[in-house]
Amino acid sequence: MTKTNTANTLAACQALDQEDPLRSLRDLFQVPESMIYLDGNSLGVLPKATPARVAAAVAQEWGQDLIKSWNSAGWFQMPLKVGNKIARLIGAKDDEVVAADSTSINLFKVLSAALSIAQADHPEKKVILSELTNFPTDLYIAEALCKERGFSLKLVEAEALQTALQQDVAVLMLTHVNYRTGAMLNMKDMTASAHSVGALTVWDLAHSAGAVPVDLNGSQADFAVGCGYKYLNGGPGAPAFVWVHPKHTDRFWQPLSGWWGHAAPFEFTPDYKPAAGISRYQCGTQPVLSLTALDTALDVFLEVEKLGGMQALRNKSLALTGLFMNLVQAELAGHGFGIATPHEENLRGSQVSLTRSEGAYAIVQALIARSVIGDFRAGDGKSQPDILRFGLTPLYTRFVDVWYAVQHLKEVMDSGEWQQPHFSQKNTVT
Ligand SMILES: *Cc1c(COP(=O)(O)O)cnc(C)c1O
């Protein structure tokens, strides 16, 4: 990858695309022409196979076969079938993952189960430890559960996690790749540290699944959840997923004990009997059309497997993020940007986050007006700076996209274009 680090011309970036062993994957996606899309970490691009597959599910499975499709089209098995496809990307085994509900809801399920296990094994432990800049929904779900279950939520900076891992910690709840900075934690080491004080781990893989190699079993993790609409390209609001280490799955009910998690849902018994294994982490009827879209999108990763698998994706991702950071340093010196993403490869995921003390939102809007799509994440006005976020999905992002994105950013800054007042007007979704 040394070549990438010295690429400082458009021609050099074009050469990197020529040599890219994964370049054919872009053809599997409908990337809008003339758009440089660097937001696959928020909403992945539409796979070309998805519209026809979803249309067939609507016209034939729903339109013609109706209720029969629960059996004939395998609708009922879809959460596990899709779960098995995701399992291959995250170091889980067959029948250890189920695709269902949202990340927030799945987090509620696994965190509840983890607290139940902790309460049974270590009743004196009363703390959920997490990172101050973890994604808010994760913190909100934890906060509510703490209130209900008599635990407290302790939040520290990433660097202070090890020190804060004391005997009082019941659960260490972390997001593997930070949504703001793109910093990646070492799952294996953090899990070992947690276990050494008797704490369980809950990992959020929202910015990891499909973006970086993950080895849940190899890391001895306890619980994990993740997102279907980011790097997995399942479409807006796609079902999320949940994994539980087999040693924990059958110990406690998850609290959303709906009929899809029942051992025999079609016996319609009045009492709840949880299914064995990960099936019990389902709740109720799932969105079949959305599952169909996610199922189709995951087939892209079968192509990835033929081309070197997650490690090949990782190599390209690191080359893209490395190139982006180098070009920003070379082309935008003096424009007041900082880089929040770690330069060390082991410490970053698949995005680059820039900081700037003023104008971050307007600059992102000015880029969007030029069809360079990133996004803005607000700071707290104190220690956390405003962030300009650029997701570099290795499935469909080209090296020339990085080149042009940085050139656009340079033009936006050199011309002062971003200072036009309309770029500062906030939309509902940033
Ligand atoms: C995107 C994201 C979520 C999203 O949760 P939803 O329930 O889908 O809204 C949760 N956690 C993290 C860390 C995320 O990045």
- Tokens in use for 204? 């959020």
pLDDT of residue 139: 98
> Residue 383: its pLDDT value, please?
85
Helix (H, G, I), strand (E, B) or coil at 172: strand
The domain made up of 3-48+309-424 is a member of CATH 3.90.1150.10: yes
107 CA → ligand 1 middle, Å: 9
231 lines ligand 1 (CB under 6 A): no
Cβ contact 229:238 at 8 Å = yes
| Residue 133 beta carbon below 6 angstroms from any ligand 1 atom | no
How far is C-alpha 392 from the geometric centre of its chain's CA atoms? Answer: 13
Does the Cβ of 173 fall within 6 Å of ligand 1? no
Q: Looking at 229-287, list the stretches that DSSP marks H as alpha helix, in order from N- to C-terminal side.
A: 246-249
Report the first-to-last Cα separation within the chain, whole angstroms.
Answer: 33
Residue with CA closest to ligand 1 atom 2: 206
Instruction: Examine the residue annotation and report whether 230 is marked as an active-site residue of this protein.
Output: yes
What pLDDT score was predicted for residue 5?
A: 52
Calpha distance 83→72 (Å, rounded):
19
φ, ψ (nearest 5 deg) of residue 13: -70, -40
Task: State if residue 131 touches ligand 1 by the CB under 6 angstroms criterion.
Answer: no
List C-alpha distances in Å: 116 to 91, 101, 168, 239: 25, 21, 15, 25
In Å, how far from its chain's centre is CA 395? Answer: 14
Tell me the two tokens of residue 7: 């690429």
In CATH terms, is domain 52-298 a member of 3.40.640.10?
yes
Cite the DSSP H helix spans in 161-308.
161-164, 187-196, 246-249, 288-298, 300-306
Q: Which residue has the tokens 């700076």?
A: 385
Residue among 101, 138, 204, 375 flagged as catalytic: 204
Which of 308, 390, 401 is closest to 22 using CA atoms?
Answer: 308
User: What residue ranges of the chain have pLDDT lower than 50?
Assistant: 1-4
Give residue 6's pLDDT.
62
Of all protein residues, the one whose alpha carbon is nearest to atom 14 of ligand 1 is 206
Question: Which residue out of 109, 230, 314, 348 is catalytically annotated?
Answer: 230
Q: Whose CA is nearest to atom 5 of ligand 1?
A: 103
Q: How many CB atoms lie within 10 A of CB 26?
A: 16
Q: Which pLDDT value is given to residue 426?
A: 85
- pLDDT at residue 2, rounded to an integer: 40
> Angle CA(357)–CA(362)–CA(365) in degrees, nearest 5?
140
| pLDDT computed for residue 1 by the predictor | 42
For the chain, the domains span: 3-48+309-424, 52-298
Q: Which entry of 108, 179, 229, 231 is annotated as an active-site residue?
A: 229
Closest Cα to residue 243, out of 352, 104, 130, 86? 86
| Among the listed residues 187, 186, 193, 143, the one whose alpha carbon sits nearest the alpha carbon of residue 166 | 193
Nearest to 280 by CA among 305, 297, 298, 263: 263
* Predicted model pTM: 0.97
- Give me the long-range contacts of 251-254 (CB less than 8 A, separation at least 24): 251/113, 251/116, 251/117, 251/120, 252/113, 252/116, 252/117, 252/120, 253/113, 253/280, 254/109, 254/110, 254/112, 254/113, 254/280, 254/281
C-alpha span between 318 and 177 (Å, rounded):
14
In this predicted structure, what is the pLDDT of residue 3? 43
Residue of 272, 322, 266 lying closest to 67 (CA atoms) = 266
Taking alpha carbons only, the member of 98, 90, 375, 339 closest to residue 212 is: 90
Q: How far is CA 318 from the centre of its chain?
A: 17
Residue 11: count of CB within 10 angstroms of its CB = 11
Record the tokens describing residue 430, joined without a space.
């940033």
Structure tokens at 18: 């020529």
Q: How many residues does the chain have?
A: 430
